[in-house]
Structure 1
Amino acid sequence: MLRGGIIGFGRMGITHFAILNSRPDVEITAICDTHSFVRRNIARHLHVAAYSDHEKMLRDADLDFVVVATPTAMHKAAACCALERGLHAFVEKPLTLNPNDSHELLAMVGRSACVNQVGYVLRFSDVFMQVKRLLDARAIGDLVSYKMEMRGPTVLGDTRGSWRSQGDAGGGCLYDFASHAVDLVNYLVGVPERVVGAVLRPVYSRQVEDALCATFLYAGNLWGNLMVNWSDPSCRKPSYRFEALGRNGKIIADLHAYRAFFRGPPDIDGLTEGWNQRHITDFAAPIRFYLRGFEYTRQLDYFIDCIEGRASPGVSSFATAAETDTVIARIRASAAQEKRSERWIA
């Protein structure tokens, strides 16, 4: 039986608790949260030890692993504390607010045998795993360009009272929302060599951005566009659309299905020349527990399987998350350069 602790018991902490505690080989025995109301209810309803200080929890509780689900600014301190005690660590995205901090954590895990994972859940999406398989097989030939769009209704008013309005806490669309889209691009296509033409702009917020766009450049003349907006009232929940154009075809995908066009017979999984469409129900692997989406359970089951030696780690590691943090930093640098050169008029 693996014993786990959770640091931060907001929406994601509660989600991770429900999924992990449903496994017969896992028991969540300790939870840390800074809000006394949350701790009282943890003790009353969950019968789990509740702590206000993560260092005390990690010192006193007998744990095998920890899940860090705090605002991003607190990730590094909590993850360092866990790794120093030899605990396996699952950290919510993004890993940190600074690529240098991410590489410090990466150096720590390099000196240990601890399993490390970051909550970039789209790497465990059935549809996007299929898309990656097609791209890796070069089913549409050499890539020419791609578009990645992400939209949602996360912020539809002024959020001054929330950490999401504080950039130094990890708030803002880029860190808290668009990081998913950036990581998905890294997963599907690769890490861009350059980021140019980035624009960050508010819609409702006063101190952070609510929408952004950027162009990613690669070797071989490949380029991609990123467009993200978390203040879109037309969306019920976050939505994703990825479109890739290759010399021999095109792929269009979201969380529910993908469409693929091939100039000739692709010779893969019964797909044919011309347009093909596959829905998630055509290929999704079953999961043992459903909450919010198949991918949420799949990522945590993968984490536990890696700890127990049934899977090889690396799908969404501190290493890949550090690459994503680097691209996020490049987006910010590009946006600052655009602003200085006055190419964008707000």
Structure 2
Amino acid sequence: MNIGIIGIGVIGLRHIGNLIKRDDVRIAAVCGTDAGKTARIAGEYGAESFTDYRLLFERTPLDAVFVCTPPGVRKGPILEAARRGIACFVEKPPARSVSEAEEIAAIVRESGIVCAVGFMYRYAGAVAMARELIRSSGAPVPIVRSVHACAAGLPEAPTPRWLLDKAKSGGPMFDQAIHLIDAARYIAGAQGGEVEAIHAFGANVQRPKSGDYTVEDNFVVNLAYAHGTVQTHTHSWGVERPRVEIELLGRDYRLTVDLSRLGSRLYGDFRGEEVSAHFPEENMYVDEAAAFLEAVRSGDPSGIRSSYADAAKSLELVVRANESADERRAIRL
């Protein structure tokens, strides 16, 4: 299969690094905003080099494209791909706004193209195991507690400057919290239902906002699900030691999904049985791309764990979380 890569930042290069290890795909075209860098990377893999994604589609026969652009540059590439029937793997978040996500979802639906969104935690072994335990037992999910803490907002952190501009990146909610909120939705599944209300609080205790730092460095988000599940998500960009976890609490179980590093863990107890599982060999990024490429090859998207339409639901939650924090009010969906 001929693959195009649009966007060659950290995540785009990660996908390229994984894809070149496969013997059934070829990097046919690369598109980036820096002409020199793009040409150099394209040259490494014998690919065509572009700085305009429209030209990439016009001049290169493709079977699939990986859209790894910043969140505000999604609709254009997806629309060009859909017009040609080219499958799309779209990095998260799936759009920059709810209205844009609705437009893209309609494009994907009406074109019928295979489309996956890069919510990689859905492919983590610990997440999949927790989901299966909850699903197969029919156990309700009363309480979810999730946390993502890292040093991204500290002055010495090598964080890309655009991420620190909330108007461009959406801040911690868009860049990271969306993953934990999406994974919690995925685990709770039918037992939890969809989120019906959200209330968020943001603060800048550690690093005040300034001209080039407009994000909140600490967030707490409360979510109420349709079937009674309640979740609290805590997020910080001011903690040196990283922590990424989802905890599920029920009458007769307590499970912790640890996503702090590649090689997820699930531990705790479930209905009287100890649970302890480690997935040291997993690579979520490889697995999500493999599921997408198999769907492209077979035409069967059932192995894709994050469709565009479902990803748009997680997007709305972080958009509303930012609105709730900005407006200092709870929001019903």
TM bucket (normalised to shorter chain) is 0.7 to 0.9
How do 1:302-317 and structure 2 match up within 5 A? Answer: 302-309=291-298, 311-313=300-302, 314-317=304-307
Give the aligned partner of residue 294 of structure 1.
283
Per the normalisation by structure 2, the TM-score is 0.88
Cα contact 1:163–1:171 (8 A) shared by 2: no
Give the drift of 1:339. 6.9
How do 1:231-310 and structure 2 match up within 5 A? Answer: 231-235=238-242, 239-255=243-259, 256-263=264-271, 273-280=272-279, 294-309=283-298
Letter in 1 for 2:46: H
Give the aligned partner of residue 201 of structure 1.
203
Give the aligned partner of residue 104 of structure 1.
103
Deviation beyond 6 Å, 4+ runs, structure 1: 158-161
Letter in 2 for 1:195: I
Letter in 1 for 2:292: F
Aligned residues: 315
Letter in 1 for 2:285: Y
Give the aligned partner of residue 318 of structure 1.
308
Q: Could you tell me how far apart the structure 2 residues matched to 1:68 and 1:9 are?
A: 9
Give the aligned partner of residue 191 of structure 1.
194
Q: Could you tell me how far apart the structure 2 residues matched to 1:231 and 1:46 are?
A: 38
**Aligned sequence identity (%):** 25
Letter in 2 for 1:246: G
How do 1:132-147 and structure 2 match up within 5 A? Answer: 132-138=131-137, 141-147=139-145
Cα contact 2:27–2:45 (8 A) shared by 1: no
How do 1:1-346 and structure 2 match up within 5 A? Answer: 2-138=1-137, 141-157=139-155, 162-189=161-188, 190-196=193-199, 198-202=200-204, 203-204=206-207, 206-235=213-242, 239-255=243-259, 256-263=264-271, 273-280=272-279, 294-309=283-298, 311-313=300-302, 314-338=304-328
Per the normalisation by structure 1, the TM-score is 0.84
Give the secondary structure class of the aligned counterpart of 1:72. Answer: coil
Give the secondary structure class of the aligned counterpart of 1:214. Answer: strand
Residues 45 and 28 (structure 1), Cα distance of their counterparts in 2 relative to 1, 3 Å cut: closer
Give the aligned partner of residue 287 of structure 1.
none
Give the drift of 1:171. 4.5
Q: Could you tell me how far apart the structure 2 residues matched to 1:69 and 1:33 are?
A: 10
Unmatched segments (≥5 aa) in structure 2: none
Q: What RMSD in Å do the two structures reach over aligned CA positions?
A: 2.2
Cα contact 1:302–1:311 (8 A) shared by 2: no
Once structures 1 and 2 are overlaid, which stretch shifts more, 160-169 or 24-33? Answer: 160-169
Give the drift of 1:191. 2.9
Give the drift of 1:35. 0.7
Cα contact 1:244–1:252 (8 A) shared by 2: yes
Letter in 2 for 1:200: G
